[in-house]
Each structure stands twice: as structure tokens, then as C-alpha cells.
């Protein structure tokens, strides 16, 4: 299927690893020119910018550098996020400092990116944004409550943006991955494992397979490429009538009746 994105310019935040890296690769395969934003310069074969999305001035500078190098950007995929590094059950296990840092990155980072990309796309009356949230933002996951709360905020703010920008032809959607083997997912396992008695600990593979078997109707992990396929479709002209939506790529983990 021709997605009609050849020659378009894209920014992918968090593009150096995990889901973000898979999105970079697929956008390139579809003919887009991509700038990868991350804390460290990506080793992928694309334009790369080292940027901390929690710092508005760095986001503004990265946007200017990207457009100077590639030209006007009409696709934004925001995948950058962190976990708290702590295990919930209950939420009081998590120090207040972890909440602050996580919200700076996962919520204010999104706000910073939106305040830079949104007006630029709106002025040109063209653009598509996809924000990577999580099924944790819909089910109130106790594993990492700050992460879960931040992902719910991502979904809600994306809907606000979609309403604001629709009149200028800019579309905004959210994709929620389920169980995906990424560095972030593994960090959640590590926080869980650190709380368990040695004799009860599971390996990362055992922990993940147990969760998949118990909670995912299709009974399998999702891959970064699974998420990227949906993201890139939403960025394309094939999705020209889709905006303000939250799409789960989760093997059926979350079903709304």
C-alpha cells in the first residue's frame, strides 16, 4: 500500500531505541526524511539531534536545527518517555522526587514539543502528530503509578490538541502499546524484581511471559515494529480522516465494551 509520505519530513522523539527507533526505520522505508531526537545522538542513518525534551529551549533549538537541515516538518512522532524506576503496590512506595522528574519528561516534555510543533504545522495548514502513550494510561496500572498517570495525561492532552488544531488541517492521535520488549519495559521488570525475595524472583522473560499469558487475549508480546506500523499509517494520507483517536496495539489487553 502506498502511504503517500515519500519526501515528507518527520521528527521522532525518543528515536534512538525501542519503539521510536522502529518508527524511524519504517518512516525511512516509506520514503520520509527523518530527524531522530534523543538524549544522545542516534547511530541510525538519519539526521539526529541530542535534546532533552523537558527543556523548552532545547526543543525550540532542535526544531530550528531540524527544519534548517530537512525543511518544513509535517510529521511528528513523540515516543520519548521514562519510567519512575520504582515499583508501586502501593503508590506510597514511590518517592515524591520520582514523580516530579517523570512528569517533567512525560507530561511537560509532550507540552514542550506540542508548543513548538503545533503552531508551525498549523501555520502551514498541514501536519500529523502521533503521541505514544500506553495501555497503562487507561487501566490505572499499579506497577508504576507515576508512569500510568502521565500516560493518561498524554491521551487527554492529545485529544485537546486534536480539537484545537483540526480547523487548520493538523491531525493528532495517540497510540497505546501493550506488552513490548523495550528498555523501558525491562526497567519496569527490574523495579518489580528488586522488591521480590530472591527465591521468588522471575527472569525478565518469565515475568513477561506470565503477564502476556494472563492478560493478553492474543497470547503474545507486541513488537516495536507492530507499534510502528500503526504509527506510520496514522501519519499518512491513508489516515486523513482520523484525528483525536486513541488506538491500542496491545493484542486485546484493553477492551472497551
Query: Could you give the maximum distance between any two Cα atoms of the chain, in Å?
Result: 59
DSSP 234: H
pLDDT > 90 fraction of the chain, expressed in percent and rounded: 82
Q: What is the pLDDT of residues 70-88, one digit of tens each?
A: 999 999 999 999 999 998 8
In a domain, 215, yes or no: no
Write down the residue that cell numbers 477492551 correspond to: 255
In a domain, 189, yes or no: no
CA 58 to chain centre: 19
In a domain, 230, yes or no: yes
Q: Residue 218 above 90 pLDDT?
A: yes
CA distance 2 to 11: 20
Q: pLDDT category, 202, cuts 50, 70, 90?
A: very high
How much is the average pLDDT of 214-218?
A: 94
Contact, 77 vs 133, CB < 8 A?
A: no
In a domain, 141, yes or no: yes
pLDDT of res. 50: 97
Q: Residue 42 above 90 pLDDT?
A: no
How much is the average pLDDT of 225-244?
A: 97
Q: pLDDT category, 104, cuts 50, 70, 90?
A: very high
pLDDT of res. 239: 97
In a domain, 127, yes or no: yes
Which of the two residues, 42 and 59, has the higher pLDDT score? 59
Which of the two residues, 246 and 208, has the higher pLDDT score? 246
In a domain, 105, yes or no: yes
pLDDT of res. 1: 65
Q: pLDDT category, 60, cuts 50, 70, 90?
A: very high
CA distance 61 to 19: 24
Q: Residue 135 above 90 pLDDT?
A: yes
In a domain, 192, yes or no: no
pLDDT of res. 82: 96
Point out the catalytic residue in the list 63, 87, 131, 147: 147
CA distance 169 to 24: 24
Domain count, the chain: 1
Q: What is the CATH number of the domain that holds 59?
A: 3.40.50.720
pLDDT of res. 257: 58
Q: Which range (104-108, 190-194, 231-235) has the least confidence? A: 190-194
- Burial class of 124 by CB neighbour count within 10 A (0 to 12, 13 to 18, 19+): middle
**Is 204 annotated in the active site?**
no
* Alpha helix (H) residue ranges in the chain: 18-29, 56-70, 96-106, 108-124, 136-139, 145-165, 183-193, 204-215, 224-235
In a domain, 104, yes or no: yes
- Burial class of 68 by CB neighbour count within 10 A (0 to 12, 13 to 18, 19+): exposed
The contacts of residue 93 (CB under 8 Å, 6+ apart) are: 86, 87
- pTM, two decimals, is 0.94
pLDDT of res. 18: 95
| Structural domain for 98, as ranges | 9-178+222-249
The grid coordinates listed for 73 are: 516538518
The grid coordinates listed for 166 are: 483540526
Amino acid at each position: 500500500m502506498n502511504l503517500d509520505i515519500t519526501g515528507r519530513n518527520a521528527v521522532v522523539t525518543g528515536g534512538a531505541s525501542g519503539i521510536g527507533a522502529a518508527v524511524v526505520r519504517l518512516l525511512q522505508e516509506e520514503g520520509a526524511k527523518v530527524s531522530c531526537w534523543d538524549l544522545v545522538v542516534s547511530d541510525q542513518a538519519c539526521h539526529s539531534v541530542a535534546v532533552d525534551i523537558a527543556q523548552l529551549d532545547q526543543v525550540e533549538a532542535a526544531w530550528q536545527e531540524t527544519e534548517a537541515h530537512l525543511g518544513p516538518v509535517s510529521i511528528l512522532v513523540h515516543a520519548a518517555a521514562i519510567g519512575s524506576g520504582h515499583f508501586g503496590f502501593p503508590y506510597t512506595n514511590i518517592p515524591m522526587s520520582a514523580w516530579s522528574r517523570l512528569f517533567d519528561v512525560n507530561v511537560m516534555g509532550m507540552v514542550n514539543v506540542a508548543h513548538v510543533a503545533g503552531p508551525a504545522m498549523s501555520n502551514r495548514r498541514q501536519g500529523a502528530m502521533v503521541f505514544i502513550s500506553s495501555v497503562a494510561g487507561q487501566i490505572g496500572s499499579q506497577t508504576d503509578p507515576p508512569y500510568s498517570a502521565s500516560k493518561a495525561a498524554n491521551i487527554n492532552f492529545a485529544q485537546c490538541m486534536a480539537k484545537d488544531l483540526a480547523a487548520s488541517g493538523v491531525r493528532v492521535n495517540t497510540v497505546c502499546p501493550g506488552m513490548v520488549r523495550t528498555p523501558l519495559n525491562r526497567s519496569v521488570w527490574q523495579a518489580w524484581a528488586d522488591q521480590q525475595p530472591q527465591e521468588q524472583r522471575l527472569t525478565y522473560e518469565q515475568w513477561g511471559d506470565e503477564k502476556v499469558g494472563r492478560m493478553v487475549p492474543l497470547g503474545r508480546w507486541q513488537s516495536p515494529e507492530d507499534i510502528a506500523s500503526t504509527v506510520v499509517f496514522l501519519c499518512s494520507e491513508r489516515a486523513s480522516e482520523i484525528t483525536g483517536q486513541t488506538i491500542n496495539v496491545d493484542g486485546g489487553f484493553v477492551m472497551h465494551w
